[in-house]
Structures are given as structure tokens and as C-alpha cells.
Structure 1
Amino acid sequence: MSARRHLRPLRPLLALALVGSLTLSGCSLWGGSSKPQPLQLGPMEPVLAVRQAWSNPIGAVGGLPLQVHVQGTQLTLASASGTVAALDARTGADVWRTQLGTPLTAGIGSDGRHAAVVSANNELIVLDQGREAWRQPLTAQSYTAPLVAGARVFVLTADRTLAAYDAASGQRLWRQQRQGEPLVLRESGLLTAVGDTLVTGVSGRLVGINPDNGTVRWESLIATSRGTNDVERLVELVEPVSRVGNSLCARAFQAGVGCVHLGQGNTVWSDKASGATGVAGDEQQLFGTESNGLVQAWRRNDGSRTWSYNQLQYRKLTAPLLLGRSVVVGDDAGWVHLLSAQDGQPLNRFATDGSGIAATPVQAGETLVVVTRKGAVYGFRPD
């Protein structure tokens, strides 16, 4: 298995110097030449009944670092080939659907009206109620879904440039660049809004930014660089994050998990962890999946570990979704697993199309939504 899938160097003009990319859960992360085999799932007696309510294809997602955006009962999502669609989560029916005619590398951000993606040609593309409104060239590739908020579109590119655009006109409002590590993940980085602050990740730090002009308001450390080469020193923050009140918790790729206090801008706790996907949580607990398939829970206030579940090892899990009393994760074989948030015990599992779950599961109203790599979008509800 290649170790060259999910990293991209920041020297795009030096084609001969391309380092390639690191597979998030590949063989090289565990050592040795043979891939560890997933544990057999065994029989399952559902504790929580779930039924499939609908399905609707979007088109193959493949390796696109897709984020499914939820606005009320509306889903906005995209395929790798450039199909962008909004679906009604209650029925699965299209609200609108557009083919942009170009492959995508990042998506999708939306405020319910404007939707934004990034093309393989390094263009920021914005749609207004399903119709393409404008395109703007970017300084570098981007793998992070744009953030659409406050009538603006914010974009984080692989060269650590953060820029803001007017959502209606496409005019660039400001641009700032931060120095980081020489490699970045080919995965969605951290870009979110917290009140009147834009929050992003830079080399293991959460950074709070004034959305009006791009100036830094505060920084908090989640994890520090380690190792002796570029790959081992990589400390990128990844989506999704968990926010409850003034507590914001995040994952640093293969390095650690931690929480910061937004009002004070300081780190409350951090814990070493080897996961590659983001976190979910509530007032009491924080949940994450490690690269070896361990599902881990931490106490939110101090970072102490409360439970772990090891029966999904080596199944290449998605980031978790906290749904009621369940922690929901998808795996690379297309299974969706529901675990108890209280103690990690299995509550149910169900299959999709076998191609693997492509994005973090999301909740839209009363519907649990998952997307597969083949591009099937499924809606599930309690039975």
C-alpha cells in the first residue's frame, strides 16, 4: 500500500520534487509490509432500531475530502467530478442540482443560499441558489471546504493563505498568509466560525481571526511538532471540531486531541492521540476515532479517558457523529456503526453499498445521512 495519498508539498512549480502524500490509515503507519486485517464483526442484535428512509445518488466521491453541509433540513454536497446538489433531508429529493464541468478538490461550504467549492484548476466557485455566480483563481490548491458566513466566503489554501471574498460579487476583501510546515494534508483542514471570530488551524495551533480584516485575535496550542523529517513533524488540525459554549475541541493529525476556552483563548487540556479525523462531543464527553480503528472517549472538562471500543480496529473509520445517545461512525467497507455514548457498547450497525463511507455522517432534522465513495447518499431514521 502506498504512503503517498494524503499529503501535498508546497512547491507546486517543482514537479520533480513532489513528495506525494501520506495514506491516513495505510500500512506504513503500523509498520511492516502486510496490512493488518479488520476484526470480524460477528453477529449483531440491534438495541436501537434504524430503517433506511431514502437514497439519492450524487456521483462518485472517491478521494474528494467531502464535507456535507447541513442547513436545517437541507443538505448541500458535491461529487469529485463537479456535481453540486442540495437535497431535502426529509425526502432525499433534489432541491437543486448543478454540474460545474470541472473536477473538485474541496467542498462544500454553504449558508443555505450560496454554496462554495474549489476546483482542481485552483478556482473558487460560488453558486447562488444552485446557479453558478462567479469564479476566482486561487494562489494554490485547497483541500478545505470554503466557509460561507456573514455574506462572505472564506478560503484556506495549501500554502496557508487565508482569504475572504464577497459572496455576491466575488471581490476579494482581504488576504493573509502564515508560514507553516513544508507539507500539508490532502484532507479538509480547520475553518469555522465561532461567534464573530473566524477560527482556523495553523501547524497544531487554533487561531482566532477577525473576519473583517484577517488580523489575529488569539492562538491556542493543541499539539506540537515531533520527529526529524517533514512527515513526522506535520501537525495539521482537521475537521470536524466540537464546540459547546466557550469550549472548542479539535484534533491534530496523528498528534493529539485538545480543548481550548474561546473566551480566554487558552488551552484547557491536550492529550496525545494518533487519529487522522476530527472529533464530536457534548457537554460531558468528546469522541474520536484513532488510525487503528479504536473509538475513544474523553471527559470534556479535563481530557481524562472514559472508555474505548476496540472491535472496529483497522476498518478505516470516519470521524464520529454524536446522535442522541449514539456515537455514529462509518467504515471503509460501507458499514455504519452506532455505539453507546455512555460506554461504547454497540447499539446497531447497517450496510450501504460496500464502497466505503466517504464523509463524516451528519444529522439533518430527524435524519442520519451518510455518503459513500460511489456517491450514494442515504437517509436513515429511527424505526
Structure 2
Amino acid sequence: MKKTLLALAAAAVLAGCSTPSSQAPTELEDYNSIAEPDVVWSKNVGESLTNYLVPSVVGTSVYAAGDNTIYRLDAETGDEVWSFETDAPIAAGVGSDGYIVAVGTAKGELVVVDAEGKKLWSTFLTSEMDAVPLVGNGLVVVRTADTRVTAFDAMSGQQRWRYQRQAPSLTIKNASGMMFFGPMILVGQSNGYLLGLSAEGRPVWQALISEARGITEVERLVDILGSPMLSGDLLCASAFQGRLVCMNAQNGQLRFTHDVMAMTPPAADERFVYVGNTASELYAFDRTRGYPVWKNEKLKWRGVRAIVPMSGVLAVGDSEGYIQILNPESGDIIGRTQLDGAIVSPAQSYEQGAIFQTEEGEVAFIKVQ
């Protein structure tokens, strides 16, 4: 049986070092208040059963899920547009292209509704979903814990294709994702590879992000973290306790790579690429040449998971629900607020801010005035 690790149990595992249970989070220090974040709106959608619940922002709508309910919220106000209840707690989602909304339940069922909250179809999968479903191009693509990537017709639910590869015996539990990239579907693999599948489900490209190292199974974990990051002509990915790799999005040529013992997927703005390591130390690299710009150690062991640039600053969420606002030029903390519950899933950019979701189910729109 495939084994999994909870993110907080594997979050800061370093070769030869102790686990996060023995590491006290760094105490937050006073800071020079320059850019305080504003909680524009907040709504509780219910607790997260897993670390695979991520809000989806399409147009002026936020699709979020918690407990056994899917919500469509107005992105400007947080008002509920509609809700839909599933037969079991929601374990993975939300995937949406604005027309189709898809989630996976704890019973291994894929549930698909339309933009008005009416059920279109559902089907039971071969295993529980371990990634946020990818919706678009007339497809709903899911990845399950038995390593199968399966594509369904978005309207009818008919299976289009399936791809499977052998999985390692141990993986981490993180909000993995997939991404459309030209004619391909990019899928992060648990063996440290970023895989490109054709529209027909055939493997057509792959890139090694990080190789397994060490002796124990834990030391050899190299799961791709979150979704690949596409920013202009730059495509980046990171692997758990492994490397950050950035390449030219047009031809796949390597731009730069850094061994950072990664714990977060990469994020980028016009000038820098950001990533956090297993100790919650944050790095910024020049996006053109890849040289290091700064390293922030003031959030060490605080379980940093969500990193998102917004409105000229960098927002960082941690396992105590704090959102730190950093100066992207220096990495200095210049603002702070707190939500209810740990922030373990990626934040989603919206307008001049970002949408965050906590384990306790708080979904909040954060901006810096």
C-alpha cells in the first residue's frame, strides 16, 4: 500500500537533522511597518480534510471547498454566489476554468459541477486524488495516489485516456498541481521529474528537477512541489528537499538551478524568483541570471508554505496563520497579519492582492494598501 507523509510531519526533514517536532518556530520580531496588509473580506468554508484544498480564482469568481461543500464566491466582496454539497468530505480541489468545477472526495469520487453549481457528472476513481484537478481544453485531468493520470471529457465524463508509471513507496502530502503548457500537460512526479503529456496522454517531454539522495526513504523524497511556475518566458519547478530549476519556457534550455532543500513551489515577479526551504528560510534569485539576491532566516521553522508576489511586495503564509509582507528588494519584513489556522496550500493571485485558504477553512482576500 502506498504510504504518505503529512506535510507538517515531513516539512523540515533534512539529511542528518531532526524533524520539525523538535524545532521551535522562530519568534516573530518587531519590524518597520511600511506595507500593512488589509483583509478585504473573509469567509469560512469548512475545514480541510487534506492539504490538497486550494482556492481557484477565475475572472471575478473564487471557487473554494471545505468539509463537504464547494463554494463559488464573488472575488470582490466574498459574497456566496452558490454552494454545492458532496456526499463525502472533499479531499482534493478546487479545479476550474470558469465553466467547469471539479473536486475529489475522501471516497475517491471525482465530482464535476457547472459554473452555476449544478452537478454534471461524477465517477469513482481507482484511488484517492493526490493533486488538484486540472480543468480546461474540454478536459478534467486528475492524478491519483496510485500514480495514474486520467483525463475525462469535461461535459460527459467519458474517459479519454490514462497514463501510469511506477511510484516510490513513500511520498509527501502537498497540494500538487498540473498545468497546461502549450499542447502539453505538465505533471510533477514523485520521482523528481517534471513530465509533459500530449493532449492524448502520451509522454512527450520530461525534465529532471532533482535526484534522490541519501540512504533512508525519507532522505530520498524528491516529490515535485505544487504546480510548475510559468512567468513570461520562464518555467520553474522545485522538488522537496531538492533543487529549484528554471528554464526557458520556449525551448526548455536551462537558465539556472540552485540546491535549496526546497519546501515550497517557486513564485516570481518581474525581477526575482522566490522559494522557501525545509527550514522555512526564504531565497530570492535574479530571474534573468539566477544569482542570489537575498536570504531571509527570520521565519525559520515557521512552516512557510505559501509565497505569492502581490502589488510590489511579497506575501508569505506560515503554519500559524501569519501572513508576512516582505520587501522584495531586501527580504525585510514590512507588514503582518494573521488568519485563523495554518496556511499550507498555495495562495492565488487576484487583482493587486491574493486569496489565501487556511486549514481551518478561512478563505481571505488580502491586499496591501
TM-score, scaled to structure 2: 0.92
Q: Does 1:337 align with 2:320?
A: no
Instruction: Output one character per residue of 1:191-210: Cα deviation in whole Å (capped at 9) or x when no partner.
Output: 11112221112221112221
Does the 8 A contact of 2:26 with 2:299 survive in 1? yes
- Residue 171 of structure 1: aligned partner: 158
Q: How does 1:48-67 map to 2 (within 5 A)?
A: 48-67=35-54
**2: CA distance, partners of 1:295 / 1:229:** 26
Q: Distance in 2 between matches of 1:268 and 1:31?
A: 33
Contact 1:183 1:230 in 2 (8 A): yes
CA distance in 2 between partners of 1:266 and 1:225 (Å): 22
Pairing partner for 1:106 from 92, 103, 109: 92
**Per-residue CA shift, 1:266-320, capped at 9, x if unaligned?**
4333221222221100343110111212111122234322111111111111231
Please tell me whether the aligned partners of residues 256 and 270 of structure 1 are also in contact (alpha carbons under 8 angstroms).
yes
Contact 1:329 1:360 in 2 (8 A): no
Inter-CA distance 365–327: structure 2 relative to 1 (3 Å threshold): same
Report the equivalent of 2:212: 225
Give the corresponding residue for 1:116: 102
Structure 1 stretch displaced more, 24-33 or 330-339: 24-33
1:231 shift after superposition: 2.6
User: 1:199 maps to what in 2?
Assistant: 186
* 3-state secondary structure, aligned to 2:306: coil
TM score, norm. by length of structure 1? 0.89
- Total equivalences in the alignment: 365
Distance 1:49 1:358, change over 3 A: same
What CA distance in whole angstroms lies between the structure 1 residues aligned with 2:20 and 2:366?
38
Q: Of residues 249, 252, 272 in structure 1, which corresponds to 2:259?
A: 272
Aligned to 1:350: 337
Cα deviation 1:139-168 (Å, max 9, x = unaligned): 222220000011110111122211110010
Shift in Å, 1:102? 0.5
Q: Which has the bigger relative contact order, CA under 8 A and spacing at least 6?
A: 2
Distance in 2, Cα, partners of 1:245 & 1:27: 33
Change (3 A) 1:33 1:345: closer
Label 1:247 to 1:33 Cα distance change in 2 as closer, same or farther (>3 A): closer
AA aligned to 1:124 is L
What secondary structure sits across from 1:232 in the alignment?
A: coil
SS at match of 1:239: coil
| Cα deviation digits, residues 38-84 of structure 1 (max 9, x gap) | 222132342014322221110112533222111122111111x2211
Which residues of structure 2 form unaligned runs of 5+?
A: none
Displacement of 1:173 in angstroms is 0.4
The alpha-carbon distance between structure 1 residues 64 and 103, as it changes in their structure 2 partners (threshold 3 A), is: farther
CA distance in structure 1 between the aligned counterparts of 2:104 and 2:20, rounded to whole angstroms: 36
**1:95-174 mapped onto 2 (5 Å cutoff):** 95-129=81-115, 130-174=117-161
Tell me: CA distance 1:309–1:134, structure 2 relative to 1, closer, same or farther (3 Å). Answer: same
2:236 maps to: 249
Alpha-carbon contact 1:356-1:372 (below 8 Å) kept: yes
| TM superposition outliers: structure 1 runs of 4+ over 4 Å | 18-22, 26-29
- Partner of 1:381, secondary structure, is strand
C-alpha distance in 2 between matches for 1:124 and 1:317: 30
Shift of 1:19: 7.0
> Which runs of no fewer than 5 residues in structure 1 stay unpaired?
1-8, 11-17
Give the letter aligned to residue 149 of structure 2. L
- Of 85-94 and 40-49, deviating more is 40-49
> 1:246 and 1:42, CA in 2 relative to 1: closer, same or farther beyond 3 A?
closer
Among all aligned residue pairs of Structure 1 and Structure 2, give the percentage whose two residues are the same amino acid: 29
CA distance in 1, matches of 2:202, 2:218: 29
